A and B are shown apart, each in its own frame.
Chain A
Amino acid sequence: SQQGEEDPQALSIQEGENATMNCSYKTSINNLQWYRQNSGRGLVHLILIRSNEREKHSGRLRVTLDTSKKSSSLLITASRAADTASYFCATGPGGGSYIPTFGRGTSLIVHP
């Protein structure tokens, strides 16, 4: 199965700062997705970037994808305390059945 691994494992910042987290994967992909999980809740889909895209924006979120380095980054600008959550990436394979796997996530704490 595919594997996305997030880095860093934990990130602590002040409100208003930007938060950047990274995801690396091992094989070719069709797309890469980022999810958010608040404590004790399900995952919420944030953004999907396809393999032929290099950058995508959604509100305060900016995602980049570098297929040559097999990596992606998620930037949250002007962070808020409400952004405190775990963030996961998942990769969609290049072909065949769609069984993405999730890494351990990046735990983001935004201090007010």
Chain B
Amino acid sequence: DGGITQSPKYLFRKEGQNVTLSCEQNLNHDAMYWYRQDPGQGLRLIYYSQIVNDFQKGDIAEGYSVSREKKESFPLTVTSAQKNPTAFYLCASIQGNNGYTFGSGTRLTVV
């Protein structure tokens, strides 16, 4: 079945560590997105990529980095520069002007 796989489901980060969240899709979608969701809040756009080897900053890109070397993969790195990384991270993809397909999310906690 086609879909988006995010891993891991839960991730714990120590202060000063970089961590990478994985997002893989087998839908052959061109565009992929990373969102952050805080408790009781909506989704805020971190980064997006509309084509391989190209990506753009969203509304809250500071402290995050991404790469898009392959169409099916869009990993997100939460760097030590992100001072408040504890949140729920959602990856999504889309083809054309249709609805998003979302992954099941990664919950990141700073310990």
Interface residues, chain A, CB within 8 Å of chain B? 1, 30-31, 33, 35, 40-45, 48, 88, 90, 92, 97-105
Q: Are A44 and B42 in contact (CB under 8 A)?
A: no
Taking CB atoms, residues of chain A closer than 8 Å to B20 are none
B48 nearest CB across to chain A (Å): 6
Question: In the complex, A90 Cα to B44 Cα: how many Å?
Answer: 12
User: Which residue of the partner chain A has the closest CB to B101?
Assistant: A45
User: Which residue of the partner chain B has the closest CB to A46?
Assistant: B99
Q: Are B107 and A43 in contact (CB under 8 A)?
A: no
**Which of B11-19, B66-74, B75-83, B90-98 contacts its partner?**
B90-98
> Is there a chain A Cβ closer than 8 Å to B45's Cβ?
yes
Interface residues, chain B, CB within 8 Å of chain A? 4, 6, 31, 35, 40-43, 45, 48, 50, 58-59, 88, 90, 92, 94, 97-105, 107
Q: Are A48 and B98 in contact (CB under 8 A)?
A: yes
Q: Are B100 and A101 in contact (CB under 8 A)?
A: no
Question: In the complex, A100 Cα to B44 Cα: how many Å?
Answer: 10
Decide: A41 near B101, CB < 8 A? Known: A97-B50, A98-B31, A102-B43: no
Q: Are B105 and A102 in contact (CB under 8 A)?
A: no
Taking CB atoms, residues of chain A closer than 8 Å to B101 are 45
Question: In the complex, A43 Cα to B92 Cα: how many Å?
Answer: 9
* A30, A33, A103, A105: the one within 8 Å of B99 (CB): A33
